Structure 1
Amino acid sequence: MNQLHIVMFGVVPYIAAAIFVVGHVWRYRYDKFGWTTRSSEVYEKRLLRIGSPLFHFGILMVAGGHVVGLLVPREWLSAIGIDEHAYHLGAMVLGTIAAVMTLSGLVILVYRRRTTRSVFLATTVSDKVMFVVLGATLLFGTAATVLVQIFGGGYEYRGTISPWFRSLIVFQPDIELMSQVPGMFTAHIMSAMVLFAMWPFTRLVHVWSAPIGYLVRPYVVYRSRDPRRDPAARPSRPGWVPAGLPAPTRAESGRTGTGRTGPTGPSRRP
């Protein structure tokens, strides 16, 4: 283990976590109006309807797989009947499906953003950097699954990466566990740290803004308009009348509509 490994797996994770937490607090306190997805649905909907569900459902599957793989010890899974073979088979099958969905959705969304002029003009610099880092993280993770786990003989990351990750949570990083991790997994981990560090300063903050309040908010009550306050129900007032002509009565004004003289105005009385 060299100094670079100590920095990569013992220092950088805490720096990324600190930026992640403090950045979100700062963003929420000082940029609440910018806490949004900056939706571009109004500009283009056809590709969005395809790419957005693919990406979001796929990324939820990816997140769920990482939670189980990193936070749940293999002994716990063995205790409920999920052995090594069953776990890796499920991880490879579901992980591949999730990766295909997520990457396909991301490609469609990036293509839409690049080819639709109005959407491209609404794309900020932080959006472009975020898409690059997010895409790199997904590609490294997919490559680790396909090249190492499926075609490369497999790697038991639950004996190295998972314990290392849990050791970070209790502030006792076991850096020795990461000394023999394959390069593709290392690239995936480092790109993920960069993504988490820049997360608070991008549109990704909308992840924490689920509309849960809609489930418990009171109903919107619609009331009919009071007819006594309806302007259409009020009697019309006499309009302007040239000098020398008698002003029309209220009834006549109501029949003529405006009470003005002219082709449609009141006629001269004898």
Structure 2
Amino acid sequence: MIDQFLWVIFPYLCVAVFVIGHIWRYRIDQFGWTAKSSEFIEKKQLMIGSILFHFSVIPVFFGHIVGLLIPAHWLEALGVTEHLYHIGAVYIGGIFGVVMLLGMIMLTFRRVTKQAVRRLSSASDITVNFLLLFITFMGVYATLVTNAVVTDFDYRTSISVWLRSLFVFSPDANLMTDVPLSFKIHVLTGFLIFALWPATRLVHAWSLPFNYVGRSYIIYRKNK
């Protein structure tokens, strides 16, 4: 029953909260659809941490898409061998993961050590910071440590197959039985952040500033 809850009920529950929560948030709180920047309080650490995080999160995201949603034999048909994929996933993915982790460490350290920033932070802000930090750490640990220790484990034959089975509404919890603990924690906390997403500042990720491209310049005039 525990496996059925963790690998069948919990993922669907998180996705449902993610979808319904965004609809609810957009309908009642469009003015709160923001990251609530604290740049005016402290700029240097925010700039460095944000650049490290946002620079690395995009390749990490697409790496997850390729590794989890695209079957291994599809990649092999395109000429991506197991060895080539391993280099990309472990070494290149590991580098971007470490950069992302450094960014999250800096952003979290800033939020809890800068008194003015901490006072302006809500409980959800702090929760998101620490949860993202933990998820990133577990991802890096699983990629660089677990893969090196448990050499016979291939997540593309277990986690990837299980995840894709969720999309066709035929999940098989047994596929996650022999998955190493670090990967299990990374997956579960990943779904948890999706459930928390609509109630936190993470909603600003959907507010892409496309209008900046065609927007007129803002003219500032000195007040004499």
Fold match by TM threshold 0.5:
yes
| Letter of the 2:32 counterpart | G
1:137 aligns with one of 124, 135, 138: 135
Q: Which runs of 4+ in 1 moved over 4 A?
A: none
Aligned partner of 1:166 in structure 2 is 164
Aligned partner of 2:180 in structure 1 is 182
| Letter of the 2:160 counterpart | S
Using the TM superposition, give the Cα deviation of residue 96 of structure 1 relative to its aligned residue in structure 2, in angstroms.
Answer: 1.2
Q: Distance in 2 between matches of 1:10 and 1:107?
A: 32
User: Normalising by the residue count of structure 1, what TM-score does the alignment of the two structures yield?
Assistant: 0.77
Aligned partner of 2:118 in structure 1 is 120
Root mean square deviation, CA, Å = 1.5
Aligned partner of 1:81 in structure 2 is 79
CA deviations 1:107-164 (Å, max 9, x no partner) are 1111222222221111110111112221221121111112211343252111111111
Using the TM superposition, give the Cα deviation of residue 76 of structure 1 relative to its aligned residue in structure 2, in angstroms.
Answer: 1.2
Using the TM superposition, give the Cα deviation of residue 220 of structure 1 relative to its aligned residue in structure 2, in angstroms.
Answer: 5.6
| Letter of the 1:92 counterpart | V
Task: Please tell me whether the aligned partners of residues 133 and 194 of structure 1 are also in contact (alpha carbons under 8 angstroms).
Answer: no
| Letter of the 2:128 counterpart | M
CA deviations 1:19-56 (Å, max 9, x no partner) are 00000010011011111000011111111221110011
Task: Please tell me whether the aligned partners of residues 35 and 205 of structure 1 are also in contact (alpha carbons under 8 angstroms).
Answer: yes
- CA, structure 1 residues 121+170, in 2 after alignment: closer, same or farther (shift >3 Å)? same
Aligned partner of 1:212 in structure 2 is 210
Task: Please tell me whether the aligned partners of residues 94 and 140 of structure 2 are also in contact (alpha carbons under 8 angstroms).
Answer: yes
Using the TM superposition, give the Cα deviation of residue 221 of structure 1 relative to its aligned residue in structure 2, in angstroms.
Answer: 9.5
CA deviations 1:65-101 (Å, max 9, x no partner) are 1011111111111011111111011111112111111
- CA, structure 1 residues 170+44, in 2 after alignment: closer, same or farther (shift >3 Å)? same
Q: Distance in 2 between matches of 1:155 and 1:191?
A: 21
Q: Distance in 2 between matches of 1:9 and 1:114?
A: 33
Q: Distance in 1 between matches of 2:48 and 2:83?
A: 34
Task: Please tell me whether the aligned partners of residues 92 and 150 of structure 1 are also in contact (alpha carbons under 8 angstroms).
Answer: no
| Letter of the 1:125 counterpart | A
Higher RCO, Cα 8 Å, sep 6+: 2
CA deviations 1:157-216 (Å, max 9, x no partner) are 111111111110111112221121111111111111111110110101111111012224
Provide the identity percentage.
43
Aligned residue-pair number: 219
Aligned partner of 2:146 in structure 1 is 148
Task: Please tell me whether the aligned partners of residues 107 and 129 of structure 2 are also in contact (alpha carbons under 8 angstroms).
Answer: no
Question: Comparing both structures, which one devotes a greater share of its residues to helix?
Answer: 2
Aligned partner of 1:21 in structure 2 is 19
Report whether the alignment pairs 1:68 with 2:57: no
